[in-house]
Amino acid sequence: MSGARKIRVLVVEDSPVVQQLLAHVIGEDPRLELAGIAASGEQALRMVDSLRPDVVSLDIRLPGIDGFAVTQRLMRDHPVPIVVVASDVRDLDIPMRALQAGALAVVEKPGSMARADYQTVARHLCTQLTIMSQVKVIRQRGRPRNGDEESPGNGGRGKGAAVPPPPPLPPSTAKRQFRALGIAASTGGPAALVKLLRGLPTNFPLPVFVVQHIGAPFVAGFASWLGSVTPLPVALASDAPHRPGHVYVAPGELHLTAEPGGMRLVHGDPVCGQRPSGDVLFSSLASAFGAAGRAADRHGGGRGARPHRHAPGGRLHHRGARLHRGHPQHAGDRGPAGRRYRGAAHRQGGGPFAGTGFDGSGALMSGPRALIVIASQTQGLLLKLMLEEQGIEASCVETVEPAVAELARRPFDLLMVEADGEAARTLTELRRRCPAPAMLLGSAERAAEAGAPADVQWVDPADSQGVVQQAMALLDRRNAPPTVSDILQRARILVVDDSATYREFLRAELEEDGCHVVAARNADEAVAALEDGGLDCVILDLVMPGTSGTQLCERFDRFRRRRGLFFQIVILTSQEGDDRLTASLTAGADDFVGKSQPMDILKIRLMALLRRKYMVEDHLARLSPPMPSA
């Protein structure tokens, strides 16, 4: 998605709580951005006209005019893709009326972050908004009279109209040895599907397999309704034999495949952003029946079916692909610019769910950062969302390699690693590059088996709230004022003194606190050490052979300004007069300490200097944008 324009979503919802929830869901998805929020149907009509969003997320129960009327008026005056977000999954009237009014999809409302399947529902909503935003809709230039309005109750027939008898099976078709019929109906398809099935005779000799793109909670009710308005018996598909003259509807969130002897439901990944997928059904028909399987796509408006590329021999007549009543010519599983959309989860460098964190408004976060290394996408996404609710930007990866790549792009304040067989190696690799607190995601037994270091916390990832609380506690401790040892353990210091005795004394004192020390006895050795880079501080004596400490201080100051470096310069000398202090600070020194002072004073002054240095560096690193993925 790098460089791509984000999809602008208008949310139409009267509940302030749900408004905030949907804004968060949309803002968290890198493909989408919030164009605006309308609290009523009237406001939505005005905002669509002024904002021109790419897609509308629409609630049905609104004050004033309801969502059905809003849909009809938008499709008449300002055609725009509409995704209905419904909370009552048991009321079949909602999806049927919404789709017939012109909506492209009906999905379940996320409801609450506390529900166990929140992340799945939220991700499905974002995927449908993304896919439907690419559908081209047209103006509806008229509606049937009220007495002739199509409704689920009459299956598309006019009010009070007699049910015409189904036509007989055409003789030319009866002679062909077809063995199955597969139908994929996209978002505007229920009415078209009814017309197709009502056109089949009651003695239809083939099993019929249907994939209808509709929210998973609505599928069972949809199948029941379909059976009430068509001549053939309709049931949800299952792992069972199929029978001629029966219609089998793919259940929600499962792929349907057909075989000569029966049906099979597959717990597979979404294909082109959809599960169940018409592609999966048609591929199975082609494999099982070859030219003896019929396959047809119904594209919302019901203006005919088209042959599918996976069923080479069987085809239904295609009477011209058209846009009809605000529905897509071919919503199918297409993504931007007619290309196949390759999955529900936005993928960036570093893993299938790595990426920049967003707050509820869609703004980039700049708070503490957590890196999560876990194989389960579901648990990773849930932890990422819950951490970001607490203001912690989170990136999720599956293995150590993308985790190392993430650390190379930006700093992190917390490492969270799954307690598996590779946990010890992963922790070693990550902590070598990032001295942040770490926690293992796993039970006590798994943490012990993983060989976790004693200073690493562990928590069961199934307890999401516990993970977040432990993460907050670790970050609170990390954000506490650092001690001298905390700072010096991070520091790399150059000691420049011509006295070997004092150099080694100072090295021993600093290394006792964990500091990495480089020693130089003259100006040439000091400059060579600076050229190597990576230093945080230089401790310099004023009395040096061949040059004065003040001149060497000026030389070091010019070096760091010319190179854009940020190491500190501390003068440590036995010449402690005010004139020496003034000359040293004027020459570019950052601090001045007498050798007569206790060693603790030098260490506390070093801590103060380096604390400011690290604070500025960490802040600048956070402000730097992430490197683009390859």
- SS3 for 559-608 is HHHHHCCCCEEEEEECCCCHHHHHHHHHHCCCEEEECCCCHHHHHHHHHH
CATH for 369-478 (3.30.200.20, 3.30.70.20, 3.40.50.2300, 2.130.10.10): 3.40.50.2300
Asked if 573 and 528 touch (Cβ cutoff 8 Å), the reply is no
149-175 per-residue burial string, b: 16 or more CB within 10 A, e: under 16: ebbbebbbbeeeeeeeebeeeeeeeee
- Over range 64-91, report the average pLDDT: 84
- How far apart are the C-alpha atoms of 528 and 162, rounded to whole Å? 97
The helix (run of H) or strand (run of E) holding residue 267 is none
Asked if 280 and 257 touch (Cβ cutoff 8 Å), the reply is yes
Mean pLDDT of the chain: 76
Look at residues 617, 614, 607 and name the one whose alpha carbon lies nearest to residue 510: 607
287-296, 364-373, 575-584: which has the minimum mean pLDDT?
Answer: 287-296
Asked if 245 and 232 touch (Cβ cutoff 8 Å), the reply is yes
458-467, 537-546, 564-573: which has the minimum mean pLDDT?
Answer: 458-467
CATH for 7-132 (3.50.40.10, 1.20.5.50, 3.40.50.300, 3.40.50.2300): 3.40.50.2300
76-90, 436-450, 594-608: which has the minimum mean pLDDT?
Answer: 436-450
pLDDT score of 602 more than 90:
yes
pLDDT digits (tens, 9 = 90+) for 297-322: 544 433 333 444 444 333 333 332 22
Strands 180-185 and 457-459, how do they pair? unpaired
State both tokens at 303. 């203006």
Phi, psi dihedral angles at 625 (to 5 degrees): -65, 150
- How far apart are the C-alpha atoms of 198 and 157, rounded to whole Å? 11
pLDDT score of 260 more than 50:
yes
| Structure confidence at residue 330 (pLDDT) | 34
- How far apart are the C-alpha atoms of 143 and 60, rounded to whole Å? 20
Q: Bridge-partner residues for 258, per DSSP?
A: 263
DSSP class of residue 165? P
| Structure confidence at residue 583 (pLDDT) | 92
Count how many Cα atoms sit within 13 Å of the Cα of residue 630 in the half-sphere of its side chain.
6
Give residue for tokens 């070598």: 432
Q: What is the CATH number of domain 177-333?
A: 3.40.50.180
374-378, 547-551, 612-616: which has the minimum mean pLDDT?
Answer: 374-378
pLDDT score of 338 more than 80:
no
- How far apart are the C-alpha atoms of 571 and 259, rounded to whole Å? 83
Look at residues 66, 54, 56, 61 and name the one whose alpha carbon lies nearest to residue 86: 61
- How far apart are the C-alpha atoms of 178 and 326, rounded to whole Å? 34
482-521 per-residue burial string, b: 16 or more CB within 10 A, e: under 16: bebebbbebbebbbbbeeeeebeebbeebeebebebbbbb
Q: Where are the alpha helices (DSSP H) in 230-355?
A: 278-289
pLDDT digits (tens, 9 = 90+) for 480-518: 777 888 788 889 999 999 899 999 999 999 998 889 999
- How far apart are the C-alpha atoms of 378 and 384, rounded to whole Å? 10
Asked if 212 and 189 touch (Cβ cutoff 8 Å), the reply is yes
- How far apart are the C-alpha atoms of 365 and 58, rounded to whole Å? 28
Torsion of CA 196, 199, 205, 207, to 10 degrees: 20
Name the pLDDT band for 425 (thresholds 50, 70, 90): confident
- How far apart are the C-alpha atoms of 45 and 50, rounded to whole Å? 9
Give residue 561's Cα distance to chain centre.
41
Cα end-to-end span (Å), the chain? 12
Asked if 242 and 248 touch (Cβ cutoff 8 Å), the reply is yes
Other CB atoms within 10 A of residue 527 CB: 15
pLDDT digits (tens, 9 = 90+) for 134-180: 777 766 554 443 433 344 434 443 433 444 554 555 554 445 577 88
161-175, 208-222, 231-245: which has the minimum mean pLDDT?
Answer: 161-175
Cis, bond preceding 171 (omega within 30 deg of 0)? no
Domain with CATH 3.40.50.2300 in the chain: 7-132, 369-478, 485-621
The DSSP result for 322-365, as a single string, is --BTTB-S--TTB-GGGPBP--SS--BTTBTT----B-TTSPBP
Asked if 36 and 10 touch (Cβ cutoff 8 Å), the reply is yes
Asked if 402 and 432 touch (Cβ cutoff 8 Å), the reply is no
SS3 percent helix, strand, coil of the chain, rounded to 5, is 40, 20, 45
State both tokens at 172. 């030319």
Strands 180-185 and 105-108, how do they pair? unpaired
Domain with CATH 3.40.50.180 in the chain: 177-333
| Structure confidence at residue 229 (pLDDT) | 76
The DSSP result for 42-56, as a single string, is HHHHHHHHHH--SEE
Other CB atoms within 10 A of residue 141 CB: 8
Higher pLDDT, 341 or 468: 468
Phi, psi dihedral angles at 482 (to 5 degrees): -70, 150
Long-range contacts of 436-442 (CB under 8 A, 24+ apart): 436/412, 436/478, 437/413, 437/474, 437/475, 437/477, 437/478, 438/414, 439/414, 439/415, 439/467, 439/470, 439/471, 439/474, 441/372, 441/374, 441/379, 441/416, 441/417, 441/467, 442/418
Fold for domain 485-621? Rossmann fold (3.40.50)
Give residue 411's Cα distance to chain centre.
20
| Structure confidence at residue 619 (pLDDT) | 66
